[in-house]
Structure 1
């Protein structure tokens, strides 16, 4: 019988998280077993269950971690800006694009596996999603109120900008023809056109 590789005790949770992230991304939630994750992490089932009592608990933890990190990046980006709506919108776009590029796997899991969360977990984590959405909604509403954004349908504009930025995780290849800095600049321009910015 092949023995499992020795994993430092403190690294167990990280090993499980990394393994689950890779396998969920490759096979999907329903195509992955707890045994698959434990084997990939080099741990026993009992070690996995020490950290996560179920596969559902593990999925919820991954989605929560991803959503929380995204919200924190957006919030930090806005704190660095003044009160000019166009600059703040560019900051949100930058935070989103940079997150989608650096966390492509996490982004894919959060988007594709949300439907596989239990109702209880979806309701619990929906607060984080709504908090991130409010950052965008409040910003665009402020720009409209100040007359610098002229979009007739602010919520549709918000959805369009977010969808465009989120889709980057599906097609962007680091090291290709477009640098990350160029991508951020390009999508900032696109966002300002969508909200009909009048400088």
Structure 2
């Protein structure tokens, strides 16, 4: 468990970075948002760079936990696994707008020594989609001839939620999740292998 002051700082930095961007964010404004002095803030973090790294790590932890919960509810069928990842990603982007926008826009602000660690974790997130799509292609139930481009299109669709979705808009999150899953399965050209003659005399 983190100290409450550390949690307050992370939330304050998350809001400041989301609203102002990392480059324009003020370390003094972050401390003020958290209700503490600069000296107290430096007790937890050395500056903006360390705060950004902590926020990105914490956001990825939250995202991976969401995907793990969704995947635990399905078996090994590729369509179910892709659907679970698409649903979890769509929900994460919609329910964590500030986290999502920082994840999607502030990677470029990381110092080189921190970027390698973040890039490795980001690749893990991409692999959640890649593994499901590659498995479906190998099984002959995803007929897309372009699995890499299909993966990029599905990920882009999910990521865009953070830019446009609003909870009070005309489309509910549940409806959006259902639509995204349907669109993702269409993109990979899902063709379930079913026998309609089984059991017929």
Q: Same fold (TM over 0.5)?
A: yes
1:110-149 mapped onto 2 (5 Å cutoff):
110-149=103-142
Could you tell me how far apart the structure 2 residues matched to 1:36 and 1:167 are? 28
Give 1:75 deviation, angstroms.
2.4
In the other structure, the counterpart of 1:5 is none
Count of residues in Structure 1 that have an aligned counterpart in Structure 2: 191
User: 1:76 is matched with which residue?
Assistant: 69
The C-alpha deviation readout for 1:122-157, integer Å capped at 9, x for no partner, is 101112111111111111000000000011111111
1:106 to 99, 106, 127: 99
Match of 2:159 among 158, 163, 166: 166
**Structure 2 match to 1:192:** 185
- Counterparts of 1:135 and 1:173, CA distance in 2: 26
How many Å separate the matches in 1 of 2:152 and 2:68?
A: 18
Q: What is the TM-score normalised by the length of structure 2?
A: 0.91
What is the DSSP-based 3-state SS (H/G/I as helix, E as strand, rest coil) of the residue aligned with 1:32? Answer: coil
Q: Which runs of 5+ in 2 are unaligned?
A: 193-201
Residue 198 of structure 2 is matched in structure 1 by none
Offset at residue 103 of structure 1 (A): 0.4
Question: Contact 1:143–1:149 at 8 Å: present in 2 too?
Answer: yes
Measure how far apart 1:76 and its partner are. Answer: 2.4
Question: 1: CA distance between counterparts of 2:3 and 2:180?
Answer: 40
Structure 1 segments, 4+ long, off by >2 Å, are none
Cα shift readout 1:70-116 (whole Å, capped 9, x = no counterpart): 12211221122012211111111110011001101110011111100
- The answer on whether the counterparts of 2:79 and 2:132 sit within 8 Å (CA) in structure 1 is no
Check if 1:23 corresponds to 2:16.
yes
Contact 1:71 1:131 in 2 (8 A): no
Which of 53, 56, 65 pairs up with 1:60?
A: 53
**Contact 1:66–1:110, Cα closer than 8 Å, also in 2:** yes
Q: Which runs of 5+ in 1 are unaligned?
A: 1-8
